[in-house]
Amino acid sequence: MKLTNHWNRFIYQLWAPIYDATVNHFFMPGRKRAIEILNLQAGERVLLVGAGTGADLPLLPGGVEAVGVDISPAMLARARSKLPLSDRSVALVQGDAQTLLVDEASFDAIIFNLILSVIPDGRACLQENLRALKPGGRAVVFDKFLPDDGKLTWGRRLVNHFSTLLGTDITRRFGDMAEGLPCKIMRNEPSLADGLYRVILLDITFS
């Protein structure tokens, strides 16, 4: 099964009421590490692509301005329930993150937590949203990836058939998504599930 916007709206409507109380407990260490190495500073603007239920919002340091984007109205409703947050300005936008929904060159940093394996076209999501960064900006990714040199086995393909029904693809390689884009990997750390999940820090350089 291939992921589609229509399916994602449906499946994440089902996930929304239980997400924070169930699977997000597993993801929280990766979320925290991603935001830690992004090293946000007061006064910076940060874009959260695939904001979901807003699990990352309470982890943001004080003094930052954040914009969160997500396609699921149900997930965004959960995120809005976490607002307002003390000393943090947060706006939430519903829309398809495979296209740029904010102004170009208007953010200091981007957080791609658990979105590139969920959205139908991970490369389009990465490419489009990197345009939102100011020159010299930075981005962080926390997600599950097949190693760039790893073989896509029939077993993984079979499991992926079921994982996509739950709204996530386990066959994607980050190198395929990032190839040719104006980003340099500064860190690529193993995270959860013995390194199936990675935390990747990107430095952005525009010519």
Residue 10, judged by CB atoms within 10 A of its CB (0-12, 13-18, 19+), counts as middle
pLDDT band at 205 (very low <50, low <70, confident <90, very high): confident
Structurally, how many domains does the chain consist of?
1
Mean pLDDT value across residues 45-58: 98
- State pLDDT tens for residues 173-201: 999 999 999 999 999 999 999 999 999 99
Residue 119 sits in a domain of what CATH number? 3.40.50.150
- The yes-or-no verdict on residue 85 having pLDDT over 70 is yes
Residue 97 identity (one-letter amino acid): A
Find, among 91, 75, 86, the residue nearest to 20 by Cα.
Answer: 75
Instruction: Report the pLDDT averaged over residues 20-31.
Output: 97
Q: What is the pLDDT of residues 128-160, one digit of tens each?
A: 999 999 999 999 999 999 999 989 999 999 999
Mean pLDDT of the region 47-75: 98
The structure tokens listed for 145 are 């990836």
Q: What is the pTM of this model?
A: 0.96
CA 11 to mean position of chain CA atoms: 17
Tell me the residue range of the domain where 25 lies: 5-204
Name the pLDDT band for 1 (thresholds 50, 70, 90): confident
Give yes or no for a contact between 3 and 118, defined as CB atoms under 8 angstroms apart. Answer: yes
Question: Would you place residue 206 in the very low, low, confident or very high pLDDT band (cuts 50, 70, 90)?
Answer: low
